[in-house]
Amino acid sequence: MAAMLQPQIILLKEGTDTSQGKPQLLSNISACMAVSDVVRTTLGPRGMDKLIHDEKGSTTISNDGATIMKLLDIVHPAAKILVDIAKSQDSEVGDGTTTVVLLAGEFLKEAKPFVEDGVHPQNLMRSYRTASHLAIEKIKELAVSIEGKSLEEKKSLLAKCAATTLSSKLIGGEKEFFATMVVDAVLAIGNDDRLNMIGIKKVPGGTMRDSFLVNGVAFKKTFSYAGFEQQPKKFVNPKILLLNIELELKSEKENAEIRLSDPLQYQSIVDAEWNIIYDKLDKCVKSGAKVVLSRLAIGDLATQYFADRDIFCAGRVTEEDLQRVAAAAGGTVQTTVNNIIDEVLGSCELFEERQVGNERFNIFSGCPSGRTATIVLRGGADQFIEEAERSLHDAIMIVRRAMKNSTVVAGGGAIDMEISRYLRQHARTIAGKSQLFINSYAKALEVIPRQLCDNAGFDATDVLNKLRQKHALPSGEGAPYGVDINTGGIADSFANFVWEPAVVKINAINAATEAACLVLSVDETVKNPKSESAQGEAAANAMGGRGRGRGRGRGMRRR
């Protein structure tokens, strides 16, 4: 009786939403599976694209996993983990963003029946971590190094990696054309880690084939004043002066006050202003530079002054472009025109202004340090060019990774099937429940070849059975076999040059396993109503305050 009359202990605020236990875990797993279903159809060369329309009215067409995940406004706290792993895969490796989301969703899908049957999540997590460790060791064992090859061989190998990445993108039809362009751009920047040293400029119009690579810097013609057309538009071996100052006639600040006793003195003040600007321009000319670029404005007076002396100038050049010119031409950005020595001037073999589509471009080529490149992209619709830029970003990242970690594995689902076979074999040597869990992990890895078949419209069961049979050969010769997208059968991915850097797969398996374990480890979600209501009240107060203010103002009597 005493036990029944005990008062209930209220620990959390009234209205706090707490969900815990098995139903909460299953709900989180279902949310993650729903997210992976969104990007599922974008995988592989025959993947479909998603059109995402936001409240501002802008539309994005993409099949890049990370882009789609960023644009989806996901509010479920557990499903947000998948968005984070897609972002981390994109920033670390560049490609494999759809793969990582799919794998994480599939690991959770395979874990769901075990959770429903009452298996403790910790047991699942332990087995999953063991399986991921074994899988990564196997990838390292199967990876083929491209070190020690000649430059030409390396170029063609890197182009194959880039082509594999581009084959699943919108510009897949021209993958060979863009793959060689990407490899040349990455080799041009050498060991420089800064990705912004490869500029991508978008010019609507023309076809994809009209895109070209500049071994140097190209940027759109900046705003120009009268006198610009009289300047020369082409120089051979010019010296380049980079500035971060305004070359404009500056009147005195409005709050400045000058007292004059004699009206004739006014002219000397006006002359002083003119002398300051002429002195600056004169120093620029004496430096011997034939091209003057500034991050700030170059006014009409300076433009005409330079035109009279056969010097090209451009003002309001963006910070990024100016830094790339500095890196390529070997110059240093100056904040003053005093004491300009030859060491701070850059140089290049050829400078010219060229018409590209409707735009005019300033192009610096044959730069001495050559640590930069610019890809000028052409195409019909703006959305198409945007997607082409995202695709090239992925390919550039992949080629950089392949150069640094010079090992590649077979793509097309071959490596996934081989790891799956290896884990199934390993599971048989384990006694206890973890045999089942590692088996389920191995089954989850088959989602990649299965999805490649589904997206291409082939019979996934049929192709997977062929793959399992091929990979089960005792000689190990079936290891490089993956899905053949063109015929709907199976083919040797290595022989068909479907390659991807080993680091992509290692990163994807690591991130997907971590995300799955993270979701499995959560058994309670507490949603605090205070924070939500506080935000709502703050917004309401702000609106109410503004409304009241206007009301009073309108109702006041005129005086």
Please identify every residue annotated as catalytic. 64, 97-98, 394
What do you get for the CA distance between the two ends of the chain, in Å?
77
Q: Are 99 and 508 in contact (CB under 8 A)?
A: yes
Residues 6+ apart with CB under 8 A from 16: 526, 527, 528, 529
The Cα 388–Cα 170 span in angstroms is: 7
Q: Are 41 and 551 in contact (CB under 8 A)?
A: no
C-alpha neighbours within 13 Å on the C-beta side of residue 543:
6
- Exposure of 91 by Cβ count < 10 A (0-12 exposed, 13-18 middle, 19+ buried)? exposed
Q: Which residue has tokens 């993108």? A: 169
The Cα 82–Cα 100 span in angstroms is: 8
Query: For residue 423, which phi and psi values (nearest 5 degrees)?
Result: -70, -40
Report the side by side order of strands in the sheet with 350-356. 216-220, 359-365, 350-356, 234-236
The Cα 413–Cα 427 span in angstroms is: 21
Q: What are the helix (H) ranges across 339-413? A: 382-404
Query: For residue 364, which phi and psi values (nearest 5 degrees)?
Result: -110, 115
The Cα 458–Cα 456 span in angstroms is: 6
